[in-house]
Chain A
Amino acid sequence: MVSTTFQFDGDAKPAPDKTAEKAVNTRWIVNPVFDTVFVFGGALWLIFALQIYWFHWDTIDPAAGGVAGSTAYFLLFVSTFGSYLFADSHTIATYVRIYSTEENRQRFKLYAYYLPWCSALLFSLCLIYPKAAGFCVYLHLMWVFQHYVGQTFGISLIYCYKRGYFFKPWERETYRWFMHSFSAYVISRILCYRELSPDDLYGVKLPFYGLPYQLVSVTKIALIVMTLAFVGMIIRKYFVEKKLIPLPTLCLIFTILGIGLSTGMANSIIWVYGPSFFHGSQYLAVSLGFYLKEKGLEEGRMAEVGRHLLSEFISPAALKYWGIVIMAGIFVYVGIPSILQNYGYGFVWTATVVQACINFHHFVTDGAIWRLRDSKCREILLA
């Protein structure tokens, strides 16, 4: 999400402020505490630390006695609850965005009315041909990391712009390509190394094409070069403009680096909690904020909504939003697999395939709906 950029003159200045509304831009998406926990990785690393503290690099066992058992049960509860509350529901937030108003429905007609049929068709194909399911899940396995990186990049830009840390076009491109090079490196490892490409993911047999190892070497060099370029650019910016990259942006970058570069048990733990407490929660914070501010804009109270976003998160409109995204998430990721269980399809297998097919639409749509280049979108996102 938020994968594109400001359309400005390159002099590191924001678009001119004409209304009082824009003058009240807050530095946070919601507020410091909420953002720390749910937007730039606090909850993920807190839960990760808790698990490592109690269980080191072992698997948790909720059936164990004593405090360890209780902690394991707590972690199990948190991961299950988190996936209902944030992970499953965040995909639905995309649909709320494209279907919420007549204007959005018309603007995103392709994504609202045509592309969902491609997902449905793909899903039908997966049900009929297990090899198609394997390919879809394999593709999803790689694409999902690029999606995480894209979203992290977008949200980190929001923090930068909210705090007046503007990039010149070449700086922005350096940052963008640093992130792209990181995605490419992680994806190339999956494509080339058998041990990083699961043979079976939740019951779905995955293909493996075994691309030459040299690809990883190339992407690794690209990543190193782009990292140096990005760090150099940040340091230069500090000395030339006396501006330090915002802390939330740094946290976002380090969190996504941690997700991509971790291995073994650390990687497994991150992938249990990360989808809910990093990716899903940050997406929902931005999407719900957007939804409420968009409504506020229509009612002429966007600034007020932006200032009190946390209390707006429990307003009747927000509760309705929560209710719909959570219920629809359950319908898609639990209801559909439950129904198909009666026809001989495994629950987890179906849920994995549903996730892949729905997410293809989610990934593509996200690239279109969160454009900082779009003036209305920018105005609301940065409010």
Chain B
Amino acid sequence: MVSSSIASSGAVGQPSDGQSESAVAHSGPYPWIISPIFDFMFVFGGGAIALLVLNYLYLGWKVPDGVMTSPAAWWLMTVGFLSQHIFADSHNSATYLRIWGSDEDRARFKFHRTWLAYSTIPMFIMGLTLPGLTGAFVYIYLITVYWHYVAQSFGIALIYCYKRGYIFNNFEKEVFRWFMFSMVGFTTLRFLSIKQNNWFGVEIPFWGPVPEVLISISRFVCVGMTIAFVVVLARKYFRENKFMPWPSLTIVATVAGLGLTQDAANSMFWFYVPGFFHGSQYLAVCMAYYIKERGMPQGMDTWGITKAALGSPGMKYLGLVVLSGCFFYVGIPHFFMQIGFSYSLVAGLVLACVNYHHFVTDAAIWRLRDPRCRKILLA
């Protein structure tokens, strides 16, 4: 999400003519997606990190393995389940509200809401009739999912930068982008060297191991790009006296932790981050977008619109996406289980189909290069 960049640099976030006086009264764009505390918990990784810390303090380097094992495990699992349903499962549906949200969006993203959406139907049928194919679909999902997390983190980190006037020139932006991609390259190649036969009940293939030399090269590139990125930030600090916004830094650190950690620590990251980082940040951005998109034509104060996200409109939005997330990830597998299919297999297939559409659509709908999208995202 938000995978591209803005064309201009200086005029970002200046109040437009149509905005009300109250909006002008606040200097510059609203610096948060929703609010400081909300963003800390749900957008730039505070919630996930806090849960990781609690997990470590109570259970050590171990993912909670059942609600009955200890009170701490009970609470952590409960939070995990809830975050899965409220944020992770539902965030895919937020994409649909985006492409079906307004007449303009329906026209603009016609391909994504028609042909691309239809293409998941034969994919789903093939997966049902050829279970081996479901394993392949899920494997492709596992290969690409970290790239998707990183791309989204990059986009949201950029939003915070631009909202706070921390503007990258093209060179700096490309260094940032390739630093993020280098993490994806290393993590993906490392994943392709580890054999895993079964993923939550779905038999998956193994398309590796990749030659060790490729992993070494990708690690070297990742280290090199990390150094380059740190140098860019340091240079920017000394020359422009600007420090990268800390929400952006926290986002980068969290997604790096997700990709670069190993063993139990990595499992712990993957237990909390899909809900409390990736899903929740996506929902926060989409919900703010959805509400601002509807509020802005009336010239509503951006600050007020953002606060509305925590009120009734935001809760309605959340309710809708939670219900549809439950429909996809619980309802559909349960229905097919009742007529004789494996629950795990269908759940894996739904995950693969929904995310295939989600990944491709995301790359198209969140473009900071697009003036309307930029205006709303950075407002």
Contacts and interface: CB of A to CB of B under 8 A. Distances in A.
Nearest to A334: B334
16 contacts: A73-B339, A73-B340, A76-B339, A76-B340, A80-B338, A330-B330, A330-B331, A330-B334, A331-B323, A331-B330, A335-B326, A335-B331, A338-B334, A342-B77, A343-B67, A344-B68
Nearest to A330: B331
A342 B85 CA distance: 13
A80 B339 CA distance: 8
Give the secondary structure class of B's interface. helix
Interface string A310-349: 0000000000000110111011001100110011100000
Contacts of A339: 81, 85
Contacts of B81: 339, 342
B327 interface: yes
B331 A334 contact: yes
B167 to A, nearest CB: 41
B75 interface: no
B117 to A, nearest CB: 15
A254 interface: no
A4 to B, nearest CB: 32
* Main secondary structure on A side of the interface with B: helix
Interface in A54-88: 62, 73, 76-77, 80-81, 84
A218 B67 CA distance: 52
Given A330-B330, A335-B326, A343-B67, 10 more contacts: A62-B340, A84-B331, A323-B324, A327-B326, A334-B334, A338-B330, A339-B81, A339-B85, A342-B67, A342-B77
Nearest to B67: A343
A84 B323 contact: no
A84 B77 contact: no
A334 B324 contact: no
Contacts of B246: none
A328 B323 contact: yes
B335 A335 contact: no
A194 B85 CA distance: 42
B335 A80 contact: yes
Contact of A331 (B68, B77, B326): B326
B341 to A, nearest CB: 11
Nearest to A81: B335
A95 to B, nearest CB: 12
For chain B, which range describes its interface: under 10, 10 to 19, 20 to 34, or 35 or more residues? 10 to 19
A62 to B, nearest CB: 7
Contacts of B335: 80-81, 84
A330 B334 CA distance: 10
Interface string A134-177: 00000000000000000000000000000000000000000000
A142 B68 CA distance: 36
Contacts of A62: 340
B222 to A, nearest CB: 37
Contacts of B340: 62, 73, 76
Contacts of B322: 331
Nearest to B343: A338
Contacts of A334: 326, 330-331, 334
A207 B372 CA distance: 63
B331 A327 contact: yes
Contacts of A344: 67-68
Kindly name the residue among B77, B323, B324 whose own CB sees the greatest number of chain A CB atoms within 10 A: B323
A327 B327 contact: yes
Interface string B320-350: 1011101100110011001110000000000
A216 to B, nearest CB: 36
A20 B331 CA distance: 45
A238 to B, nearest CB: 47
Contacts of B67: 342-344
Given A327-B323, A327-B324, A77 B339 contact: yes
Contacts of B324: 323, 327
Nearest to B68: A344
Contact of A324 (B77, B323, B331): B323
Nearest to A340: B81
A4 B85 CA distance: 41
Interface string B66-105: 0110000000010001000100000000000000000000
B327 A330 contact: yes
Nearest to A83: B338
Contact of B330 (A73, A328, A335, A342): A335
Contacts of B77: 342
Contacts of A73: 339-340
Nearest to B340: A62
Interface string A218-255: 00000000000000000000000000000000000000
Interface in B158-179: none
A335 B320 CA distance: 14
Interface in B47-80: 67-68, 77
Given A335-B85, A338-B334, A342-B67, A330 B339 contact: no
A158 to B, nearest CB: 30
Contacts of A327: 323-324, 326-327, 331
Give the interface centre of A77, A324, A326, A338 by most chain B CB atoms within 10 Å.
A338
Contacts of A342: 67, 77, 81
A367 to B, nearest CB: 27
Among A84, A326, A334: residue with most chain B CB under 10 A: A334
A377 B68 CA distance: 51
A73 B336 CA distance: 12
A344 B66 CA distance: 10
A60 to B, nearest CB: 13
Contacts of A335: 85, 326, 330-331
A43 to B, nearest CB: 19
Contacts of B327: 326-327, 330-331
Contacts of B320: 324
B101 to A, nearest CB: 13
A330 B326 contact: yes
A281 B349 CA distance: 30
